Structure 1
């Protein structure tokens, strides 16, 4: 099963790489997707964020991730987004298993939700205005990519940050509580977002499976 998925992702990379340059020419331009897969816009608006992501009683899980120059490696992470107030300010609760320290580590943050010039939902830190976080998904009912950048260089390239694949909490019935049910995820859409927006594939060793270690409750 795993080998079949890897073969599918390799085929996707070979047949769709041509669309990447076109997508990068204009940040706000609708990307041209490979016709082999049925795809749509991965734009997550502020309205989408309010209706599908922000909910203090809903838990989201990181299952894959890419850590850019992080001093630590992380395993299982849980996240919750509180509803914003009338100034669009809110709290995001994050709890991750730090592999280096062998313990859970909290990263709760006070943020503001807004949109960038393209209309994509963007979080900005209240205490650190440089922090920028964006959302990408073609199916918010099942997943989204969450790109977090803490430090930019002089050319506005991210030099410290994270890219996480986040899914809703779904457990196998009757199984151990820590066992996630990942059946039915639209991997062709997930891999399309990863390639077109970040020029990465699941074959890249930097894109790691994250659901291991102690489960840390958000």
Structure 2
């Protein structure tokens, strides 16, 4: 009995103290740093240029791939490398003075435009079939750092509402057109976009 008790205690200690899975360290090298710098030059924010691959770099690559008609897997393959040398140029729908944002539903991208110039481009995921993000021109209104969605019983981090219950908020963009109408932005950039979208900021959602 005593031996069994000792074995049970040892098993519990191992369960709670010893790691169950190994966490892979991010890969860091000069090639990754060069890609991060290139993405930043092209207005695809990827966070700090540190040469280490991670969620921020993946999200920036996904946005770049969408802008260039490539599979948005966030992987730096041969086609993506070639496109970095000859990238597509995205033009805003509106060139009005000041700052506004444009949601390109066809490409699943968000463009931050200032005085007619595209300053930043983010990957997004808009509404799925039957819950399409409405097209049109809107204004940012209510903002909440952590907003509770009553219909779907889920928290929406960094929510900026621009059309009733439709908001920009942090979420995965790995799957396109997956929301219930909101515009999901990569978690890595949700806070900086939240800070950028002041109440009254114009939001243009294109078809």
Q: TM-score range by the shorter chain?
A: under 0.3
User: TM-score of the superposition, structure 1-length normalised?
Assistant: 0.26
User: TM-score of the superposition, structure 2-length normalised?
Assistant: 0.27
Structure with more helix by fraction: 2
- Which structure exhibits the higher relative contact order, with contacts defined as CA atoms closer than 8 Å and separated by 6 or more residues? 1
Structure with more strand by fraction: 1
Larger radius of gyration: 2
